[in-house]
A = this chain, B = another copy of it.
Amino acid sequence: MPVGRGGAGLCVCGLECLDDALDLVEVSPGLDKRLRMMIKNSARFIRFHDGARVHGNDTDRTGLLMVLKGSLRAYLLSSSGRECTLFRVEEGECYALSCSRLLSLVTFDLFLDADGTTELLVVDSEVYNRVAVECLAAEAFAYRQAAMRFSDAMWVMEQVLFMRLEARVAAFLLDEVARRRRDSLSLTHDELARHIGSAREAVSRVLKQLDRRGVVLLSRGRVDVLDKRALRALVGV
């Protein structure tokens, strides 16, 4: 759930900060003053708690999202509640797949959750649509964002299709260690399974094997990575 508009140093910077944020969209050079004002007037700051649903089939909070702080996790969700993380939208990046212009092309449901306390600038979808109609750079930007995420998602798909579960667990742990810049991960077996779209029981089995081999050290709600070289060997890199 959003905890309100503005806050934590955001409301005080106002339009000036918004100008900086708009530069993230990279289309700024193509925007004339009027289009830029259209975007500015529609943009809202929203802060989300860790784990809050930012976008999905039960929310209407759509538009171009710019991550000012924190990050977003994009994942597929099955009707039975199984998940698979496809990619993350990190600080300073944009997410365009929740623009209605793209939603009309993209027929699958992608869910977005806040990963840690996350502050977003949301440009209203209809406003961005109107801007994109007048400014081809804005349109190309949104599609290009989608193409980049396609690439991320395909990397995950290749893992799901072609990698053994042990290698996928190893790849996930290496990614997380790099992303969080620490070898000690606060992570349950269930969370790990949801990230890689696998069953908890199977993931637990792999983790226990890695623990026995001294590659990781398991404790309650925590995985400590002890031997990155061994993990890299499992991934085959």
Q: Give the copy number.
A: 2
Q: Which residue in chain B gives the minimum CB-CB distance to A150?
A: B150
Contact of A200 with B by CB under 8 A:
no
Task: Using A139-B140, A143-B143 as known contacts, say yes or no to A106 and B150 having CB atoms under 8 A apart.
Answer: yes
- A52-90 near B? 1/0 per residue, CB < 8 Å: 000000000000000000000000101110101000000
Partner of A147, one of B84, B150, B154: B150
- A156-181 near B? 1/0 per residue, CB < 8 Å: 11101110000000000000000000
- A143 to B146 CA separation, bound complex (whole angstroms): 8
A interface majority secondary structure: helix
- On chain B, the residues within 8 Å of A79 by CB distance are 162
A46 shortest CB reach to chain B, Å: 25
- On chain B, the residues within 8 Å of A160 by CB distance are 157, 160-161
Most chain B C-beta atoms within 10 Å of own C-beta, residue among A136, A146, A161: A161
Q: Which residue in chain B gives the minimum CB-CB distance to A78?
A: B162
Q: Which residue in chain B gives the minimum CB-CB distance to A147?
A: B146
**A side interface size, CB within 8 A:** 35
Q: Is the CB of A149 within 8 A of B150?
A: yes
- A11 to B30 CA separation, bound complex (whole angstroms): 41
Q: Which residue in chain B gives the minimum CB-CB distance to A146?
A: B147
- On chain B, the residues within 8 Å of A8 by CB distance are none
- A20 to B185 CA separation, bound complex (whole angstroms): 58
